[in-house]
Amino acid sequence: MEIEAVSKAVLRVERPAEVDAFMAIAGDFLGAREAEHCLILGLAGTLHVGVVTLSEPPLFAVVVDGAADDRVLAAALRTPPYNLVLSLVEDLDAVDALAGTLEGEPLPGVSGPGDAAARFAEAWTARTGRHARRSMAERIFRLSAVRAPRPAPGRMRLAEQADRTLLIAWIEAFTQEALAKSEEADEAVDRWLEHRGRSLWLWEDGDLRVSLCGAGGETPNGIRIGPVYTPPEHRGHGYASNLVAQVSQAQLDAGRTFVTLFTDLANPTSNRIYQDIGYEPVVDFEVFDFVD
């Protein structure tokens, strides 16, 4: 998104206490670029329906221009213990205002469009003395029509309770490999298996379960694909390509206008695979961790 200067802006940071109040202020702004905001909108939707229980209250912030009828310039959301997630921004000064308002919050890091995330990381370091370490470069992709890949042996099926032990092991492996961190995989898998706005799918080749794909984080017209994981010993057979293609098609068949997913730009193989089945790049994301 091209950044436009806002002349004589009077910046004000709103701090709604609840997700519905946050969306009342920022919803139209976020929805106008829905694919770019798939993460923040998906988190807001999850909070709205109460799918997850947080150890701490979520954080909401919206920067508005008081000199232009409170036009929204930026929005941010955090679900502890995870990073602050930034929207696209229309004026980078709004990022500075946001950092100033949030000073004192125990932020572990920030994720967002490259220019906004980098600006926030710089401002946070200046205000708090904590160092910002760029830990990942990602890209959001969008798909509205699937191009079927070369068929792979096997079939897709919905994951079920009997798969729980395997799913936990694979989610743990995925987070270690893709995100270089761990999470409570058993709790995450249990939420997926409840099928409340999200689902996990498996690809089976004969009696072997060989690949995993999730779909969740609903937005008004879309849904986000992920995680996607194939154990190393089963890679190179087209399992993930076929599974992601079929899960994506199932979401479109269910009435979604489009589906989105995040990729790690350091993994050219996955980026190529997703583009081969119809995913198109939308915006680049940067992830910064704050360290002492």
Q: Mean of the pLDDT values across residues 24-32?
A: 98
DSSP the chain: ------TT--EEEE--SSHHHHHHHHHHHHHTTTTTTHHHHHHHHHHHHT-S--SS--EEEEEEETTTTTEEEEEEEE-TTS-EEE---S-THHHHHHHHHHTTS---EEEEEHHHHHHHHHHHHHHH--EEEEEEEEEEEEESS----S--SSEEEE--GGGHHHHHHHHHHHIIIIISS---HHHHHHHHHTTSS-EEEEEEETTEEEEEEEEE---SSEEEEEEEE--GGGTTSSHHHHHHHHHHHHHHHTT-SEEEEEEETT-HHHHHHHHHTT-EEEEEEEEEEEE-
8 pLDDT tier (thresholds 50, 70, 90): low
Distance, in Å, from the CA atom of 105 to the CA atom of 265, rounded to the nearest integer, reads 29
Comparing 19 with 184, the larger pLDDT belongs to: 19
Asked if the domains 11-137 and 145-256 are classified in one and the same CATH topology, the answer is: yes
Per-residue pLDDT, averaged over 47-53, amounts to 81
| pLDDT (0 to 100) of residue 4 | 46
Q: Among 114-123, 165-174, 264-273, 283-292, which stretch is predicted with the lowest mean pLDDT? A: 264-273
Per-residue pLDDT tens digits for 224-266: 999 999 999 999 999 999 999 999 999 999 999 999 999 999 9
Residues 70-113 have pLDDT tens digits of 999 999 999 999 999 999 999 999 999 999 999 999 999 999 99
Read off the pLDDT of residues 185-217 as tens digits, 9 standing for 90 and up.
Answer: 888 898 889 887 789 999 999 999 999 999 999
Question: In the prediction, which pLDDT does 6 show?
Answer: 42
At CA 188, angle to CA 224 and CA 55, rounded to 5?
105
Of the two residues 270 and 127, the one the predictor is more confident about is 127
Asked if pLDDT for residue 182 goes beyond 70, the answer is: no
CATH classification for the domain delimited by 145-256, as one of 3.40.50.1220, 3.40.630.30, 3.40.50.920, 3.40.50.300? 3.40.630.30
Domain spans, the chain: 11-137, 145-256
Per-residue pLDDT at 269: 86
pLDDT at residue 228, as a whole number = 95
> What class does CATH assign to 11-137?
alpha beta
